[in-house]
């Protein structure tokens, strides 16, 4: 086996723990709130430096928290739904060696399928799928040159189920699992790990409408064996694992973190 592609290539990150990310740089999209913020802080706690990306001016709290843990932090405001994002994505990688990419940013629009507009359909697909591929391609080129790296896509329970009134979101999350497996097939032998996390129902802004509906929220909670919705921090440990040397032989996997929902 080519030594450049062997898991020992990660050994210089830290001799103390197979989960340490010292000396690595992670780019996290949608890093200002919710799951993205929790993942960013967990990666920082594991020793990674960060490039935080958001479409909003909401990165300060994440950046300060990561810096207090000793991470070097850069912030980039970028709307991944804009057609000119490619040039801005190139800026994000200019001079930066990105070892870990977390495609977390996501968009959801709710409407019955027969009333769903083309605009809403395309807006969701642009952010959840097209931008994730473009970022993976940009990061992957450098990773392939170096012979190591990790890409983590955020999937969903709707990567396996159909959902109701969220046709574009469901389509995008099915597709992100397919993209994860396709990239893993191409890049695993060249030292790059591509995997996904499928969170269950998490208490974030995305699920605010669901949680505000007592009937629907009650139905969901009753089906979760763990007996509660996830906090964003419940997802973060899975990201640290998949980004770490401990997951060196994990390729093309979708790690479900759902409190037992799919087991029900």
Cα dist from 180 to 57, 153, 159, 188, whole Å: 29, 7, 12, 11
Question: Which has the closest alpha carbon to 54: 162, 177, 205?
Answer: 205
Token pair, residue 227, equals 């007996």
169 is catalytic: yes
Given 148, 169, 201, 249, which residue is catalytic? 169
Alpha helices (H) in the chain, listed in sequence order: 34-45, 60-68, 85-93, 118-125, 131-146, 167-187, 208-211, 214-223, 233-243
Q: How far apart are CA 27 and CA 96, in angstroms?
A: 10
Residue 194: partners with Cβ closer than 8 Å, 6 or more residues away: 136, 150, 151, 153, 180, 183, 184, 187, 188, 251, 252
Q: What's the CA angle centered on 181, arms 154 and 170, to 5 degrees?
A: 45
What CA–CA distance (Å, rounded) separates 57 from 62? 11
Token code pair at residue 145 = 């040159």
Angle at 194 between CA 250 and CA 253, to 5 degrees: 50
- Per DSSP, the three-state class of 254 is strand
* Residues annotated as part of the active site: 169
């Amino acid at each position: 086996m080519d030594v450049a592609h062997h898991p020992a290539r990660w050994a210089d990150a830290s001799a103390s723990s197979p989960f340490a990310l010292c000396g690595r740089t992670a780019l996290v999209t949608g890093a200002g709130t919710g799951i993205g913020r929790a993942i960013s802080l967990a990666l920082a706690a594991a020793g990674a430096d960060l490039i935080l990306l958001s479409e909003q001016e909401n990165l300060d709290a994440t950046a300060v928290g990561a810096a207090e843990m000793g991470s070097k932090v850069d912030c980039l405001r970028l709307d991944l739904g804009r057609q000119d994002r490619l040039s801005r994505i190139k800026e994000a990688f200019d001079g930066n060696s990105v070892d870990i990419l977390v495609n977390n940013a996501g968009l959801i629009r709710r409407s019955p399928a027969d009333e769903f507009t083309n605009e809403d359909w395309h807006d969701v697909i642009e952010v959840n799928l097209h931008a994730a591929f473009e970022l993976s391609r940009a990061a992957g080129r450098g990773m392939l040159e170096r012979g190591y790296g990790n890409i983590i896509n955020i999937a969903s329970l709707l990567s396996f189920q159909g959902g109701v009134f969220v046709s574009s979101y469901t389509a995008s999350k099915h597709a992100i699992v397919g993209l994860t497996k396709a990239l893993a097939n191409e890049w695993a032998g060249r030292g790059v790990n591509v995997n996904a996390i499928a969170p269950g129902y998490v208490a974030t802004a995305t699920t605010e409408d669901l949680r505000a509906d007592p009937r629907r929220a009650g139905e969901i909670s009753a089906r979760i064996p763990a007996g509660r919705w996830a906090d964003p921090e419940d997802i973060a440990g899975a990201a640290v694992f998949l980004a770490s040397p401990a997951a060196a032989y994990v390729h093309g996997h979708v790690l479900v973190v759902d409190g037992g929902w799919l087991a029900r």
